[in-house]
């Protein structure tokens, strides 16, 4: 569990939707802010590169090498932690991908960020293949259930923005309440911290205080930035 002045959940240029700066720019800024640690968790690739908005699979070793080199270089100034933000996709679990990631030295943590979900392994069907109309009704349910399945595997060290699954919902319903309770309960049972995501607070319907009301009984909450630019680094704890 992290204490003190930390900067958690930081992306890099490799995901194609973050600022195009070297990784070191984030570390220099973090040192300047007086942070004690910075936690990189760029969007993880999958073998075969079936998904967008993330580094290519061939970049993974370079990402880990570069950040671990910086970790050594800056060890007297700041703790640099190297992880990945990744969805739980059962067919890749079946193929052993998460076990393979967990075994990589220099990859310290996995942050579960369920941005989409697998609906059917073969022929492959994902939430991003569905219509907006379908997603408006069903997205939160399938993302929530995938998140719970992911939590229970034990692969993940932190859960990113658990309330973001409700981004298409307009008002809090008993169905959402029940799902939120199941997520919190699963995280507590596995002793995995839930992330209160700073960037979610600035996007409509991405941050739901109702879930966090329930999470008050959960022992562990971490504060994440979801920084995609150097200027988004700030100490919030
Ligand atoms: Zn991102
Ligand atoms: Zn993120």
Q: Quick check: 125 pLDDT over 90?
A: yes
| CA of 40, nearest ligand number | 2
Q: What distance in angstroms lies between residue 13's CA and the mean position of ligand 1's atoms?
A: 10
Task: Say which range, 1-10, 30-39, 75-84, has the weakest mean pLDDT.
Answer: 1-10
Q: pLDDT-based confidence at 41, cuts 50/70/90? A: very high
Q: What distance in angstroms lies between residue 161's CA and the mean position of ligand 2's atoms?
A: 8
pLDDT given for residue 215 in this prediction: 64
Task: Say which range, 62-76, 135-149, 195-209, 222-236, has the weakest mean pLDDT.
Answer: 195-209
**Per this entry, what is the length of the chain?**
237
pLDDT given for residue 236 in this prediction: 87
CA–CA separation, 142 vs 140, rounded Å? 6
Q: Quick check: 173 pLDDT over 90?
A: yes
- pTM of the entire structure? 0.96
Q: Quick check: 1 pLDDT over 70?
A: no
Virtual torsion, Cα 95, 65, 14, 20, nearest 10 deg: 170
CA–CA separation, 149 vs 185, rounded Å? 12
The token duo for 60 is 């993974």
CA–CA separation, 89 vs 155, rounded Å? 12
Q: What distance in angstroms lies between residue 201's CA and the mean position of ligand 2's atoms?
A: 14
Mean confidence (pLDDT) of the chain: 95
pLDDT given for residue 216 in this prediction: 62
Q: Which long-range contacts (CB under 8 A, 24 or more apart) does 148-152 make?
A: 148/182, 148/183, 148/186, 149/88, 149/90, 150/87, 150/88, 150/112, 150/114, 151/112, 151/183, 151/186, 151/187, 151/190, 151/192, 152/186, 152/190
Identify whether the C-beta of residue 227 lies closer than 8 Å to the C-beta of residue 9: yes
% of the chain beyond a pLDDT of 90: 92
User: What domains lie within the chain, and their CATH numbers?
Assistant: 6-232 (3.20.20.140)
Q: Quick check: 64 pLDDT over 90?
A: yes
Q: Quick check: 3 pLDDT over 80?
A: no
pLDDT given for residue 132 in this prediction: 98
pLDDT given for residue 219 in this prediction: 62
Q: What distance in angstroms lies between residue 226's CA and the mean position of ligand 2's atoms?
A: 5
Q: What distance in angstroms lies between residue 85's CA and the mean position of ligand 2's atoms?
A: 6
- DSSP letters for 194-229: EEEETGGGGSTTT--HHHHHHHTTSS-EEEEEEESS
pLDDT by residue (tens digit) across 75-114?
A: 999 999 999 999 999 999 999 999 999 999 999 999 999 9
């Amino acid at each position: 569990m992290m204490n003190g002045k930390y900067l958690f959940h930081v992306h890099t240029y490799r995901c194609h939707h973050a600022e195009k700066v070297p990784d070191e720019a984030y570390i220099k800024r973090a040192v300047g802010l007086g942070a004690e640690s910075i936690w990189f968790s760029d969007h993880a690739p999958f073998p075969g590169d079936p998904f967008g908005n993330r580094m290519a699979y061939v970049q993974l070793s370079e990402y880990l090498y570069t950040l671990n080199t910086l970790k050594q270089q800056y060890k007297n100034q700041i703790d640099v932690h190297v992880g990945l933000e990744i969805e739980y996709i059962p067919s890749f679990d079946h193929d052993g991908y998460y076990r393979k990631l967990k075994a990589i030295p220099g990859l310290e943590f996995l942050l579960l960020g369920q941005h989409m979900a697998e609906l059917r392994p073969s022929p492959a069907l994902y939430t991003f293949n569905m219509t907006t109309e379908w997603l408006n009704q069903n997205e939160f349910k399938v993302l929530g259930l995938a998140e719970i399945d992911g939590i229970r595997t034990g692969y993940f060290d932190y859960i990113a923005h658990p309330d973001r699954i409700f981004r298409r919902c307009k008002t809090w319903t008993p169905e959402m309440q029940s799902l939120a309770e199941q997520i919190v309960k699963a995280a507590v049972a596995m002793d995995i911290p839930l992330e209160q995501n700073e960037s979610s607070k600035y996007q409509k319907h991405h941050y739901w205080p109702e879930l966090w009301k329930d999470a008050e009984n959960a022992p562990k909450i971490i504060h994440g930035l979801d920084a995609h630019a150097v200027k988004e680094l700030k100490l919030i704890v």
